[in-house]
């Protein structure tokens, strides 16, 4: 129930349990040797890894999953080391960023992908900050579909996982790959043709996920008159 309401940080009674150090060590061993390194256990590990839709990390929404992350770190919560609901598919970078940190309050509690959904509202946006060369800044600005607490949590997660840098890099690569196509559209149909293409592409990505970086990127480009008219 704590995961449903973003209150995993309140499970203080489970920290460093059980008291017996040997039993705690056995629980950690059960994960490392029994689930990760054991052939039979590894099959279960891979089944959990396959929970990620399209094999995509649920934390950043972009990279491929490559490991299981402990939503509550096993170092602090050994009792949960092998509990399936505490084992979330993740990319190695997000797993590293999360590390063994334990949230101090609700606002800093990262969303649990199994129990919390941030797709019912819009929170990811971008704006063009340079036309030559083209550069975008991504930012989290959750709309009114989210509670005040959820807005704070989304913004914290966006910052903590350094998603602005990830999305900005990906956007630069995507734009570079489409430069020839957009220049051709400008030559054949002018800025209106470019704007129409960008808005249609943004809508297509939004149908997949309203909060994917591609939606935010194409929308921002379509709204930038300098880029539409002849940006880099």
The angle formed by the CA atoms of residues 74, 154 and 204, to the nearest 5 degrees, is: 115
HSE-CB of 216 using CA atoms within 13 angstroms: 24
Residue 109 to residue 102: CA distance in whole angstroms: 8
Which H or E element spans position 138?
strand 134-140
pTM: predicted TM-score of the whole model, two decimal places: 0.89
Distance CA 208, CA 227 (A): 25
Q: What is the pLDDT of residue 12?
A: 67
164-179 per-residue burial string, b: 16 or more CB within 10 A, e: under 16: bebbbebbeeebeebe
End-to-end CA distance of the chain: 50
In the chain (232 residues long), the average pLDDT of successive 10-residue segments reads 54 67 78 74 88 96 96 90 93 93 88 94 96 91 96 97 97 94 93 96 97 98 92 60
In this prediction, residue 3 carries a pLDDT of 52
The pLDDT of residue 31 is 82
How far apart (Å, rounded) are the C-alpha atoms in residues 10 and 226?
Answer: 49
pLDDT at 36: 73
Q: Are strands 67-70 and 134-140 parallel, antiparallel or unpaired?
A: unpaired
| Residue 81: per-residue pLDDT | 86
Report the pLDDT value the prediction gives residue 175, as an integer from 0 to 100: 94
């Amino acid at each position: 129930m704590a995961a449903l309401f973003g209150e995993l940080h309140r499970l203080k009674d489970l920290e460093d349990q059980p008291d017996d150090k040997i039993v705690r060590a056995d629980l950690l061993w059960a994960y490392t040797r029994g689930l990760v390194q054991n052939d039979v256990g590894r099959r279960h590990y891979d089944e959990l890894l396959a929970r990620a839709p399209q094999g995509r990390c649920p934390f950043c929404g972009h990279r491929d999953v490559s490991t299981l992350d402990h939503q509550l770190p096993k170092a602090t919560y050994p009792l949960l080391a092998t509990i399936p609901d505490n084992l979330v598919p993740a990319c190695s970078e997000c797993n590293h960023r999360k590390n063994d940190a334990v949230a101090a309050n609700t606002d800093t509690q990262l969303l649990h992908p199994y129990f919390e959904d941030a797709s019912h509202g819009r929170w990811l946006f971008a704006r063009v900050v340079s036309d030559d060369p083209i550069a975008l800044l991504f930012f989290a600005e959750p709309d009114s579909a989210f509670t005040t607490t959820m807005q704070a949590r989304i913004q914290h997660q966006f910052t903590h996982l350094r998603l602005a840098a990830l999305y900005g890099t990906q956007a630069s690569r995507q734009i570079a790959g489409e430069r020839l196509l957009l220049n051709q559209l400008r030559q054949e149909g002018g800025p209106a043709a470019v704007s129409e293409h960008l808005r249609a592409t943004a809508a297509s990505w939004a149908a997949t996920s309203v909060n994917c970086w591609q939606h935010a990127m194409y929308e921002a480009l379509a709204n930038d008159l300098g880029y539409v008219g002849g940006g880099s």
